Structure 1
Amino acid sequence: MSGTAPTEPAEAPGRLAAARSEVTQFLIAGGLAYAVDVAVFNLCLYWGLGGVAAKIVSSVPATIVAYIGNRYWTYRSRERTGVRREYTMFFVFSAIAAGIQAGCVFVSNHLMGYTSTLADNISGNIVGMALGTLFRFWAFRTFVFKHKSETAPSTEPALSAGRGGTP
């Protein structure tokens, strides 16, 4: 018992630093995607698209930028589970998050009656983005970019040996 207690607190700062680094990298990659999203969104509004349609259109290039940043920087050390699977799941979860953002614009426009460019930006790019970002962070780290199984190789033989070699 005393052998495990001292190592746990020593591991905590390392885990905290890793979590802080992951969140920081996620937010930086997301910040770049956010800049693309806001620029395309406002360009679409300028061209006459409605707020909800503009938010849906702007989410496509932003999602591509976010995927590249997250796959090749934020989660570069995570296990690759197949490009097709990973890319599909990333875009499905991103579409759900874009729906959250578009839903915020819909509520602002159609339920609250706010239809100005400022209201669209607040509802879609501030409120919607905050809610969508929380959802994305949870979904990407949980389902899309999985952790490598670092303990499985070392514990599996020990468990098998302890059971007489049967799984």
Structure 2
Amino acid sequence: MNTASRLVRFLGVGGFCFIVTLAVNYLLKYLLLGDHPTTAFLIANCVATVVSYVLTRQVTFTDRNSAFRKRIQIIGFTLVSAVGIVINSAPLYASRWIFGFHYPQVTFLEQEIADFISGPIIGTLLAMAFRWWALHKFVFPSGSSEPQKVDQLA
């Protein structure tokens, strides 16, 4: 599979997981965790990460799967995703608690617009760029490059 095709699949998986993140985030934020928007967003990202692992492995990097690499892939995916979740949540945290975009300092509408732009938009774009690079480089590396490394060491 060429890189452009893989990138389109990666973006498709990311788009679906973006919808999962938004749905879980807003359910938690408005039903259970109203005073803790960053926590709601972190939990939503964790749920979407589980969905993302399955879809990324089966759709985006389907040609780079092998039974013996599955444990390594799970560990790598978990580590990359943990860093991605921090990257994704950092702009929302900064917006709310560093820049003060929260009610009553701003109107409720301004707060919600700032939350949406900082978390789901800016955070997701930053995290997606990081995940694409890290997953492609470390978790699901090209199968053709691994034998070359072994041959060079021998």
Same fold (TM over 0.5): yes
- Report the counterpart of residue 67 of structure 1 in structure 2: 53
- Report the counterpart of residue 120 of structure 1 in structure 2: 115
Structure 1 residues 1-167: aligned runs within 5 Å: 18-49=2-33, 50-80=36-66, 82-115=69-102, 116-149=111-144, 152=147, 167=154
Q: Which has the larger radius of gyration?
A: 1
**Structure having the larger proportion of residues in helix:** 2
> Which AA in structure 1 matches 2:121?
I
Q: Does the 8 Å CA contact 1:45/1:117 hold for their aligned counterparts? A: no
Deviation at 1:48, TM superposition (A): 4.3
Q: Does the 8 Å CA contact 1:79/1:147 hold for their aligned counterparts? A: no
> Which AA in structure 2 matches 1:120?
D
> Which AA in structure 2 matches 1:72?
Q
Q: Secondary structure at the match of 1:105?
A: helix
> Which AA in structure 1 matches 2:19?
A
Unaligned runs of 5+ in 1: 1-16, 160-166
* Length, aligned pairs only: 140
Q: Does the 8 Å CA contact 1:26/1:74 hold for their aligned counterparts? A: yes
**TM-score, L = length of structure 2:** 0.83
Deviation at 1:122, TM superposition (A): 1.2
Are the structure 2 counterparts of residues 113 and 21 from structure 1 closer, same or farther at C-alpha, using a change threshold of 3 Å?
Answer: same
CA RMSD across the alignment? 2.0
- Sequence identity percentage: 30
Deviation at 1:82, TM superposition (A): 2.3
In 2, the alpha carbon distance for the partners of 1:120 and 1:48 equals 17
Are the structure 2 counterparts of residues 74 and 109 from structure 1 closer, same or farther at C-alpha, using a change threshold of 3 Å?
Answer: same
Which protein, 1 or 2, shows the higher relative CO under an 8 Å CA cutoff with sep ≥ 6?
2
> Which AA in structure 2 matches 1:126?
I
Q: Does the 8 Å CA contact 2:57/2:65 hold for their aligned counterparts? A: no
